[in-house]
Homo-oligomer: A and B are copies of this chain.
Amino acid sequence: MKILVLGADGYLGWPTSVDLALDKHELLLIDNYAKRSIMSENNRAPLILNKKIESKIKILKKINKKVSFKNIDCSNFNKFSDAFKKFKPDAVIHFAELPSAPYSMLGAKEGWKTLQNNIQSTYNLVWNVKTHRPNCHIVKLGTMGEYGTPNINIEEGWLNVKHQGRNQKFLYPRQASSLYHTSKIMDTDLIWFYLRLYSLRATDLMQGPVYGVYANDFSKENKLEPTFAYDDMFGTVLNRFIVQSVANVPLTVYGSGNQIRGYLNIRDTIQCIKLALKNPPKKGVLNIFNQFTEQFSVKELANKVASALKKIELNVKIKAIKNPRIEKEKHYYNAKNTGMKKLGLKPTLLTDKVIIEMAQYVISNKKHINNKIISPKSTWK
């Protein structure tokens, strides 16, 4: 299959690209390193500053010659369009969005940058698909955060509403708690609009927070790990907890820690994307999956880490701090996630072994940890 990967340098874009290269797909990887720039401008270095794709691609080419890379800003319509028309993809995986809730809430400039980048890159993608490759399958990364924390069960993307004796199926109503998450609601609005008008095909993967380092053994053997962020802006919560454990500082739980979310291992992200690629929707259909394997409260997550790492003699402390976010700390949460399992997802659950393996990776890079970038600096106020 000819697959275009937008945002191929990211935490998930890169391992997805490696895995698809191993599967011998013809790949065009695109990134403009915007996230690297923003992390650098905000003094948030990842654990290891990975080489850029231009240099890492040599290793991929050894296993698959049909992999290439272009440094393009997907929000630049003409440049993106030129690459798209030339490559003629059968599927596009869209990771080219700024993924940080705290960054989006930092100030007016950062908020607009998030909105502009995420909406414009999605707009350019959909326009090119509708104009040049209407059969191309758009696989878009959404987030469980789009749903927020409603008082009813969270279905997979859609809600059948009975109202005054009549029925209508709607996109499940979304209400997020950060501007970043709101930008993801807006790009869903956009894809869903063009899809139903022009009979396009898309899969929206509503993903929970991801944790982990290596998505496959090849990456581990060839040191092709993704950018592992652990800071307050770009680090996901479990990755941050592991780094705090290794750095011997308390795990910072925001507020009461009763906030429940659905989590998944980076290996499962790749599995889900590959399952989505293998199961494209019919024309005019938007497939939506809730992409997580287990629900935990933040407090439970911290306790799991502490208990697992005791086995390798790390003495983990947990500290509740004032919540820098504005979010409900006590809420109902029950989200469905059966769709991917039906397609064949074999979940990699959060066992002590998984936590210890992550900690071992962090321990081997302990000297790079910068304690100063872990505690939250950006608040929602």
Please give the residue numbers on chain A whose beta carbons come within 8 Å of chain B beta carbons, in ascending order: 77, 108-109, 111-112, 115-116, 119-120, 123-124, 127, 131, 150-153, 159, 161-164, 166-168, 170-171, 173, 175-177, 179, 182, 185-186, 189-190, 192-193, 196-197, 326, 332, 380
Contact = CB atoms under 8 A, between A and B. Distances in A.
A197 B175 contact: no
B182 A168 contact: no
B193 A179 contact: yes
A206 to B, nearest CB: 16
- Please tell me how many copies of the chain the complex holds: 2
Nearest to A174: B189
Given A119-B186, A152-B166, 10 more contacts: A111-B123, A112-B123, A115-B119, A150-B168, A159-B173, A161-B161, A173-B173, A182-B190, A186-B186, A197-B380
8 contacts: A116-B120, A151-B166, A153-B164, A171-B175, A175-B196, A182-B189, A185-B189, A197-B326
A170 B174 CA distance: 8
Given A112-B123, A186-B186, A175 B164 contact: no
A168 to B, nearest CB: 4
A197 B180 CA distance: 14
Contacts of A151: 166-168
B152 A161 contact: yes
A153 B182 contact: no
A120 B127 contact: no
Contacts of A108: 77, 124, 127, 131
Contacts of A197: 177, 326, 380
Contact of A167 (B152, B177, B326): B152
A164 B189 contact: no
A77 B109 CA distance: 9
Contacts of A161: 152, 159, 161, 173
Contacts of A152: 161, 163-164, 166-168
Contact of A175 (B116, B166, B170, B186): B170
A288 to B, nearest CB: 14
Closest 9 CB pairs of A and B: A170-B173, A152-B163, A152-B166, A151-B168, A186-B186, A152-B168, A182-B193, A150-B168, A108-B127
A115 B171 CA distance: 21
A122 B190 CA distance: 17
* Most chain B C-beta atoms within 10 Å of own C-beta, residue among A166, A186, A190, A332: A186
Nearest to A78: B108
A332 B161 CA distance: 15
Given A112-B77, A168-B152, A197-B380, A175 B192 contact: yes
A57 B153 CA distance: 55
A166 B173 CA distance: 15
